[in-house]
Amino acid sequence: MIHSLILGAVQGLCEFLPVSSSGHLALFQIFMGFDENMLAFDILLHFATLLATVIYFRRDIIRILTEWFGGWFTSKKHSGWPYGWAIIIASMITAVIGLALKSTAEKFSESLILVGAGEIFTGLVLIMIPFIAYSRPNSSLLKTAIAVGIAQGIAVLPGVSRSGMSIAMGLFMGLGITEAFRFSFLISIPAILGATLLELVKCIKSGGTVFLPEGYLIGAVAAFVLGFASLVFMRQLVNAKNWAYFGVYCLAVGVTAMVLAL
């Protein structure tokens, strides 16, 4: 039960903080010596954090969906029309890159050195944000969607933070700090949903017995509650621009993982 609680807490905290949930889950599973097939439990944890995201951004989601669908039936286009297309474009690019890197990411997740390298890369990007982002001119919404979609796709590699990469790229493309946060997590919804559905199909096709560890519901609740809390914290973080602390943390985690591997 304690293992399920720990993994649920790690997923909830790290899914939205810029430290890579996939990297931390891989490290914890390696260190805790899990030999069981954890695919079904991973799906459950990702669904829990997806639910937290949908609830947190429910007003934005309803408005964008309403204005995007409404844009098909009227000549007057509200802001949700181009914004909805930006989310779709970014998500499609993420899907293409994510699928191309999927097998590579699965292999990387088994290596302490490679997960550690991903954490170091994330740390360097986060530390560089204040120096590269805040004076950038605004790019078009299309260019921003393409760039952020690419950044999110690359983040399928364990140790590379999805939120860190997508927010950093949004800032680099000229988005304001609050808008970069919002766009990053809105495009995470189709990305997480798509990845979860793919894993679910894989789990069903495997034909084997679905394994859920003892206390899996407690782990899922922990992932949801801490995921929602970390979203609230991240909102404060991006406003305060305190990226360097997480950058240093990721560097420390990455270096530690690589040293232990050697």
Number of residues written out for the chain: 262
Q: What is the pLDDT of residues 208-229, one digit of tens each?
A: 555 666 677 888 899 999 999 9
pLDDT, position 136: 67
Nearest Cα neighbor of 113 from 154, 159, 161 is: 159
CA-CA-CA-CA dihedral for 237, 239, 240, 245, to nearest 10: 30
Nearest Cα neighbor of 160 from 4, 3, 24 is: 24
Mean pLDDT of 250-258: 91
Mean pLDDT of 170-195: 89
Reported as half-sphere exposure (CB side, CA atoms, 13 A), residue 245 has a value of 7
Give the contacts of 224 (CB within 8 A, at least 6 positions apart). 12, 48, 49, 51, 52
Reading the block at residue 234, the tokens are: 């991240």
Does residue 70 carry a pLDDT above 80?
Answer: yes
Contacts of 191-198 spanning 24+ positions with Cβ under 8 A: 191/91, 191/94, 191/95, 191/98, 191/152, 191/162, 192/46, 192/49, 192/50, 192/53, 193/50, 194/91, 194/95, 194/98, 195/46, 195/98, 195/156, 196/43, 196/46, 196/47, 196/50, 198/102
CA 250 to CA 117: how far, in whole Å?
Answer: 10
CA 242 to CA 126: how far, in whole Å?
Answer: 9
Q: With pLDDT > 70 as the criterion, what percentage of the chain qualifies?
A: 89
3 state DSSP class of 15: coil
pLDDT, position 146: 96
pLDDT, position 135: 61
Does residue 39 carry a pLDDT above 70?
Answer: no
Report which of residues 24 and 112 the model is more confident about. Answer: 112
What predicted TM-score, i.e. pTM, was given to this entire model? Answer: 0.87
Mean pLDDT of 253-258: 90
CA 134 to CA 196: how far, in whole Å?
Answer: 34
pLDDT, position 37: 53
Q: Where are the domains of the chain?
A: 2-13+20-31+39-261
